[in-house]
Chains A and B, each alone.
Chain A
């Protein structure tokens, strides 16, 4: 987004008594250079948002092409090789370019310093470097697509990845660079949360989104370097045949799987933990009730992060690893589901007897709880050794991880985007349209992936371009669901974009939330706060009341609630 394209609304002088007239981060400086070299975390968040939405669009196109081809078991327009490339790029683009950075880099970057009442993250230049590393990584992926494609699957398994004719090295360089972008984001967030919490904001007065971001950052810091070195070793293997992974010259291909999944299973939690953080915010605000079990939710974020490192072998039950290892990994896998269950219980308890408002963000939060629970429960079949042997590498697995990754993270991301959009851009969107498309997304998602559980349990293998007739009905339902889901996603994004041009001006606090980002104007000024905002319990809404003239919530001076301030 360049300033030249800023909708006219932002230029209008406000005749009202707002002190922040024309003092917001969008207008603080002008020209494309002021965006490209910005050190403002909010602008960096917006730039990330543009980048990841473009990636999401690209990955989504790949998905629809795949589903269209699979409408019948015969070839429609993709050869088998082209099909392999298409699912590889769909997986790699969605995983590395979209989901992993989506919430931490785009929403987290925008919101985290403001939730701390601060002006910026600890290392603004590193933040901008993270963004450009993301851009460079994306360019490597585009180069791999343009110069020969990629057909290894997003998992790059050896020995095929050593010998295929496609552009594995370009894609791996992209993964490597993207990994460092992720590391730097995680580093920035850990330091910011540790050293820049304001006076009075103890660890247990932090918004749960910050707990989730913190747990995620720990994983980014500890797991991503292993992905980096794995990528380099595979590049060396492919370029020089150093012999570590290639069995043709004495190497061990299963070793690659251990290295890869040591990162990529914790990466699942890099994806899902920030989503859970968003859900904690949305459920509490739109139930107008203190979050139930705050400390349990906070601790379970950390528990998920740490346990997530111990379970990578459950991706390899049929790879030939030892039986003892398989049993241990299976047990640990079941353990990691406990903190996730704690979160779901606490969200449900928060809603119990709450004053529930079905605003668009809450619609996505409810969809998340439903879809994530299905993803989690079906994970039990894959974590159990006996059933996993049959279900491994079938569409059951595909459905499972899409329920978690897309039904979970993507839905939470869109919910968070709808929640913070008024703060980010200072405009309200059409609430009815937002709710309508959230329903389309929910229905389309289930129609796409639920049939995949059924056909997977009946033996349909994943990654196959052709199939026998008995699976056709499920594939056709899935394809129709995918296009419905596509319509829902396009509609949801269109509602947001439309609001930039026609949306009503947003009040500082449209939802009645009590986290600190709602205590500055919408959109925020460049340095966020003129004076540090008072710190209180982020989930205590008793001091807020709706102001008709403001069109949003304001602090009730008569509430008598104690707060901390400098």
Chain B
């Protein structure tokens, strides 16, 4: 893309052909807008790639352990997810309309639409907070606090959790960085099954890295189904990472929209200068689009 100079007075630029909203280092408003447009598209590409790592993790685990996703998805509230999808789509509409209002110099409408978009984003986050609260109430935390992880890996989760309250080694169990843990030391929990046979199986599983033995006594270790599915906590790790980072992007977008509202109130935007609204709109559409992928992948497909 070559930007052709549109005036013949660049060398007298100061105070003559440079409107206030055109930065001194740009030749023209057109060049500034082109730069911003390309810049926001490049930024959105980096955001897509940022999420791509998580989609890769999702794809790898889904292809290798489909049963995890079949069972875990049942724990999610599809109706709340669908509602949030509608909320975001409507907010994309209000944002697109705001861009149009800016292009037509409709200041009041622009401000109203930006507020509406901000409000809808807030609704999305409230629903998300509700969802998270419900999951926490069911013991569906991320990582070692997840009840499936605690049921399946009681020794590891107990060691990690106890390390959180240890002042010596926060966030990492001390013994694991020095030598393999003695198995007997980590089975003191009152929640341990009292059966010696089961305890033996747990030690065996830990020793070999296999988790199949844990359910040998139940006779269905090699079959799918709620009682036989392993590593459900990994689904929730992926779920919280994906939806959590998406929520952070919503919050970031809200911050930028507030900045736009302040500037719109000051009357900075017009048919001659609407780039920032346009660029923020593109960002908002991406945030919406990512959710449109997250919702079916996490909530619907199983």
Interface residues of A (CB under 8 A from B): 113, 118-120, 122-124, 162-165, 169, 183, 187-188, 190-192, 194-197, 199, 202, 221-226, 228-230, 232-233, 236-244, 247-252, 255, 259, 527, 530-532, 566
Please judge, given known A-B contacts A191-B38, A240-B143, A243-B234, whether A249 and B245 are in contact too, CB under 8 Å: no
Q: Which residue in A183, A240, A530 is a CB contact (below 8 Å) of B237?
A: A240
- Prevailing SS type, chain A contact patch: helix
- Prevailing SS type, chain B contact patch: helix
Q: Is B196 an interface residue (CB 8 A)?
A: no
Q: Which chain A residue has the least Cβ–Cβ distance from B239?
A: A242
Let me know if A229 and B50 touch, CB within 8 A. Answer: yes
Q: Chain B contacts of A202 at CB under 8 A? A: 2
Contact sample, A vs B, 10 pairs, CB 8 Å cutoff: A124-B25, A163-B177, A165-B169, A229-B54, A236-B142, A241-B144, A241-B160, A242-B233, A248-B209, A255-B57
Looking at the assembled complex, report how far the CB atom of A72 sits from the nearest CB atom of chain B, in whole angstroms. 27
Let me know if B39 and A187 touch, CB within 8 A. Answer: yes
Let me know if B60 and A122 touch, CB within 8 A. Answer: no
Q: Is B172 an interface residue (CB 8 A)?
A: yes
Q: Chain B contacts of A118 at CB under 8 A? A: 25
Which of A120, A163, A188, A237 has the most CB atoms of chain B within a 10 A radius of its CB? A163
Complex CA–CA separation, A197 to B1 (angstroms): 9
Let me know if B53 and A191 touch, CB within 8 A. Answer: no
Let me know if A183 and B46 touch, CB within 8 A. Answer: yes
Complex CA–CA separation, A248 to B210 (angstroms): 9
Q: Which residue in A122, A228, A248, A532 is a CB contact (below 8 Å) of B39?
A: A122
Looking at the assembled complex, report how far the CB atom of B248 sits from the nearest CB atom of chain A, in whole angstroms. 10
Complex CA–CA separation, A259 to B236 (angstroms): 20
Q: Which residue in B38, B142, B231 is a CB contact (below 8 Å) of A190?
A: B38
Q: Chain A contacts of B3 at CB under 8 A? A: 195-197
Please judge, given known A-B contacts A164-B177, A196-B35, A532-B10, whether A236 and B24 are in contact too, CB under 8 Å: no
Q: Chain A contacts of B174 at CB under 8 A? A: 165
Known contacts A165-B172, A199-B2; 7 further A-B pairs (Cβ under 8 A): A163-B177, A190-B38, A191-B38, A197-B3, A228-B53, A233-B241, A248-B153
Looking at the assembled complex, report how far the CB atom of A506 sits from the nearest CB atom of chain B, in whole angstroms. 25
Let me know if B49 and A241 touch, CB within 8 A. Answer: no
Let me know if A241 and B157 touch, CB within 8 A. Answer: yes
Complex CA–CA separation, A194 to B46 (angstroms): 18
Q: Chain A contacts of B5 at CB under 8 A? A: 199, 566
Complex CA–CA separation, A169 to B170 (angstroms): 12
Complex CA–CA separation, A244 to B60 (angstroms): 10
Q: Which chain B residue has the least Cβ–Cβ distance from A246?
A: B156
Complex CA–CA separation, A243 to B146 (angstroms): 11
Complex CA–CA separation, A248 to B173 (angstroms): 13
Residues 44-86 of B at the A interface (beta carbon under 8 Å): 45-54, 56-57, 60-61
Let me know if A242 and B45 touch, CB within 8 A. Answer: no
Complex CA–CA separation, A194 to B2 (angstroms): 7
Let me know if B53 and A229 touch, CB within 8 A. Answer: yes
| Interface bracket on B | 35 or more
Let me know if A187 and B43 touch, CB within 8 A. Answer: yes
Interface residues of B (CB under 8 A from A): 1-5, 8, 10-11, 23-26, 31, 34-35, 38-39, 42-43, 45-54, 56-57, 60-61, 142-145, 149, 152-153, 156-157, 160, 169, 171-174, 176-177, 209, 211, 230-231, 233-234, 236-238, 240-241, 245
Please judge, given known A-B contacts A195-B34, A249-B156, A532-B10, whether A228 and B142 are in contact too, CB under 8 Å: no
Q: Chain A contacts of B152 at CB under 8 A? A: 249-250
Please judge, given known A-B contacts A119-B25, A165-B174, A255-B57, whether A197 and B2 are in contact too, CB under 8 Å: yes
Q: Chain B contacts of A530 at CB under 8 A? A: 11
Looking at the assembled complex, report how far the CB atom of A457 sits from the nearest CB atom of chain B, in whole angstroms. 33
Complex CA–CA separation, A566 to B27 (angstroms): 12
Please judge, given known A-B contacts A164-B177, A195-B35, A232-B241, whether A242 and B25 are in contact too, CB under 8 Å: no
Complex CA–CA separation, A225 to B157 (angstroms): 31
Looking at the assembled complex, report how far the CB atom of A237 sits from the nearest CB atom of chain B, in whole angstroms. 8
Let me know if B10 and A566 touch, CB within 8 A. Answer: yes
Let me know if A244 and B160 touch, CB within 8 A. Answer: no
Complex CA–CA separation, A381 to B237 (angstroms): 40
Let me know if A238 and B49 touch, CB within 8 A. Answer: no
Complex CA–CA separation, A284 to B173 (angstroms): 58
Complex CA–CA separation, A163 to B160 (angstroms): 10
